[in-house]
Amino acid sequence: MIPSITLDELLARFKLDPAPFKPVAGRYPCRLTRYYAGLIQKPGDPIWRQCVPDPLELADDGQHPDPLDEERLSPVPGLIHRYPDRAVLLVSNRCAVYCRFCMRKRQVGCGAVGLDMERAIAYLAATPQIRDVVLSGGDPLLLPADQLHSLLGRLRTIPHLEIIRIGSRVPVTAPGLITPALCRMLAEHHPLYLNTHFNHPRELTGEAAQACCLLADAGIPLGNQTVLLRGINDQHAVLEQLFSGLLRLRVRPYYLHQMDLVKGTAHFRTPLVRGMELIAGLRGKVSGLAIPHFVVDLPGGQGKVPLLAQTARHGDDGWTIRNLAGNPVSYHDLPGSL
125-140 core/surface letters (b: 16 or more CB in 10 A; e: else): bebeebeebbbbbbbb
Where in the sequence numbering do the catalytic residues fall?
82-83, 86, 95, 99, 102, 104, 260, 297, 304
* Under 8 Å between Cβ of 56 and 269: no
Residue 121, beta-bridge partner list: none
Beta carbons within 8 Å of 3's beta carbon, 6+ residues apart: 33, 34, 35
Beta carbons within 8 Å of 218's beta carbon, 6+ residues apart: 183, 184, 186, 187
Q: Using DSSP, state whether 86 is helix, strand or coil.
A: strand
Q: How many C-alpha atoms does 171 have within 13 Å on its Cβ side?
A: 30
* Under 8 Å between Cβ of 309 and 325: no
Question: Phi/psi of residue 147, each to 5°?
Answer: -70, -45
Q: What CA–CA distance (Å, rounded) separates 219 from 241?
A: 26
Rg over CA atoms, the chain: 19
With residue 211 as reference, give the H or E element that holds it: helix 206-217
Q: What CA–CA distance (Å, rounded) separates 230 from 243?
A: 17
